[in-house]
Structure 1
Amino acid sequence: MPHVLIVEDEPSIVTPLRFLMEQEGCSVQVVDDGAHVMDALDQQLPDLVLLDVMLPSRNGYDLCNAIRQRPDGNDLAIIMLTVKGREVDIQKGYAMGADAYITKPFAVADVVATARKYLPDA
């Protein structure tokens, strides 16, 4: 079963993302604070991280870069989800190691469709 880590502090985004990823056959873990992401990765390495940029404690760009620096950091996909939609922000996301970058507001179904591209078969 593919494992997805949702790193998002907004419940109105977490709830539908969790539901739809579970419908896709994934196990889901949610972290709502940037300070707890690395601990979550140590507990169980996900196949995919849905990563918000604007988080309490630690921003998503920094987290994306830190994940990629881990020995197992290239074994997972990272999709950044953010209101930061300027070209410079998007380029920064990819430079930090994101596989995909989706700007808010977004249709949750579009996030799931993008996630499918990076998930192993359920």
Structure 2
Amino acid sequence: MAVTKQAQTHHTIDYIELAAPDLGAARDFYSAAFGWEFNDYGGEYAGIRAADGEGEVGGLNPDGAPGPGGALVLLYSDDLDATVAAVRDAGGEISRDPYEFPGGRRFYFRDPAGNELGVWTSA
């Protein structure tokens, strides 16, 4: 599949890369939990396709070192409770149960490699 070039915007987040020492397991997890699709680069890297299928928004890097403590990537959910269940069903670990904050609710999880991400929904 040819990757479509997306327009970049000065000083905005352009791409997120997650450490994925086991590239296959990471692809399986994110596909099962969130329905993500990937561009495969010969088993050495997987680009995360944009939701509209045009370009990429990030990647899975098998050379990275996973773990909590870096930048926190937040995903949005229309149904937070269903997303918690999907993360668990896909093999993720909920590291902080859903809680309320001004403007909505959120939770944190660790993927099978140990990367910590969050998911939020509006109030």
Taking structure 1 as the reference length, what is the TM-score of the superposition?
0.28
More strand by share: 2
Taking structure 2 as the reference length, what is the TM-score of the superposition?
0.28
More helix by share: 1
